[in-house]
């Protein structure tokens, strides 16, 4: 099993930390992992993206042209990465940040209303964990137990009291993800 995933959105949406939690959860499953961020003179509100690779075998290139899955959280990222999903691959997006929905007919498309749901849950910061939950529903590559261990490893001690809230958000994301198109 090798999963090559791109997570892309605005800086501040929790794109990089979502990737990090997935990577740590992968380690808990004894998988090989690579987390490769776009880095540059970035700032809050600018675009941010990270490539996460999980594999049962040694990982080769951190540079990926065609992804198995893409999580897309704003229009700029949709413009850039919709075309980078492999035929038959997965695209998950939040319609709140996307004006033009994806047009591809050869990929599986899912959406999650995470921005609104995060506000309903009373904490906009869990936005990324709702999206993460939706992704795990579609691609159950790590178990929730290992995600919990991943959270313990990747969050500093002072935030460990937020783990139950994060897990709730993940479960919520698993519930509310909608299938848009299946191929």
Partner 1 sequence: MSEIKLMKGNEVLAEAAIRCGCDGYFGYPITPQSEVMETLMMRRPWEETGMVVLQAESEVAAINMVYGAAGSGKKAMTSSSSPGISLMAEGISYLAGAELPCLIVNVTRGGPGLGTIQPSQADYFQAVKGGGHGDYKLIVLAPSSVQEMNDFVNLGFELAFKYRNPALILTDGALGQMMEKVELAEFKPRWTSEEINENWGSWATTGKPASRKKNVVSSLVMGSEEMEANNLRFQEKYRMMEEKEVRYEAFQCDDAEFVLVAFGTSSRVCQKSVQIARAKGLKVGLLRPITLFPFPKLVIKELARKVKGFMSVEMSAGQMVEDIKLSVYEAGSNARVNYFGRMGGIIPSPEEVVEALEEKFSWEISYGVKRSY
Enumerate residues 71-130 that contact partner 1 by CB under 8 A: none
Q: Establish if 11 lies at the interface with partner 1 (CB under 8 A).
A: no
Please say which residue, 20 or 111, places its beta carbon nearer to partner 1. Answer: 20
Interacting residue with partner 1 among 3, 6, 20, 151 (CB under 8 A) = 20
Residue 129 CA, chain-centre distance (Å), reads 8
Name the minimum Å distance from CB 39 to partner 1. 5
Interacting residue with partner 1 among 17, 154, 162, 181 (CB under 8 A) = 154
Please say which residue, 31 or 111, places its beta carbon nearer to partner 1. Answer: 31
C-alpha 66/C-alpha 64 separation (Å) is: 6
Please say which residue, 24 or 127, places its beta carbon nearer to partner 1. Answer: 24
Enumerate residues 26-65 that contact partner 1 by CB under 8 A: 27, 32-37, 39-41, 59-65
Contact 67, 135 (CB under 8 A): no
Contacts of 147 (CB under 8 A, 6+ apart): 21, 25, 132, 136, 167, 170
Q: Establish if 23 lies at the interface with partner 1 (CB under 8 A).
A: yes
Contact 27, 33 (CB under 8 A): yes
Name the minimum Å distance from CB 160 to partner 1. 17
What's the Cα-to-Cα distance from 156 to each of 61, 121, 153, 166, 179, rounded to whole Å?
30, 23, 8, 14, 35
Tell me the number of residues near partner 1 by CB under 8 A.
Answer: 22
Contact 81, 64 (CB under 8 A): no
C-alpha 142/C-alpha 140 separation (Å) is: 6
Residues that bind partner 1 (CB under 8 A): 20, 23-24, 27, 32-37, 39-41, 59-65, 153-154
């Amino acid at each position: 099993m090798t999963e090559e995933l791109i997570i892309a959105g605005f800086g501040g949406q929790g794109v990089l930390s979502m990737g990090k939690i997935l990577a740590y959860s992968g380690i808990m499953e004894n998988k090989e992992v690579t987390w490769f961020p776009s880095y540059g003179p970035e700032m809050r509100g600018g675009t941010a993206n990270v490539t996460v690779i999980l594999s049962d075998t040694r990982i080769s290139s951190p540079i990926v042209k065609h992804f198995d899955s893409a999580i897309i959280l704003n229009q700029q990222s949709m413009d850039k990465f919709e075309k980078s999903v492999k035929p038959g691959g997965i695209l998950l997006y939040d319609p709140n940040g996307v004006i033009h929905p994806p047009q591809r007919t050869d990929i599986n498309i899912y959406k999650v209303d995470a921005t609104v749901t995060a506000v309903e849950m009373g904490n906009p910061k869990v936005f990324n964990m709702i999206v993460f939950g939706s992704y795990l529903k579609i691609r159950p590559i790590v178990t929730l137990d290992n995600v919990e261990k991943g959270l313990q490893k990747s969050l500093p001690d002072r935030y460990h009291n937020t783990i139950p809230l994060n897990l709730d958000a993940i479960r919520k994301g698993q519930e509310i993800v909608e299938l848009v198109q299946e191929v």
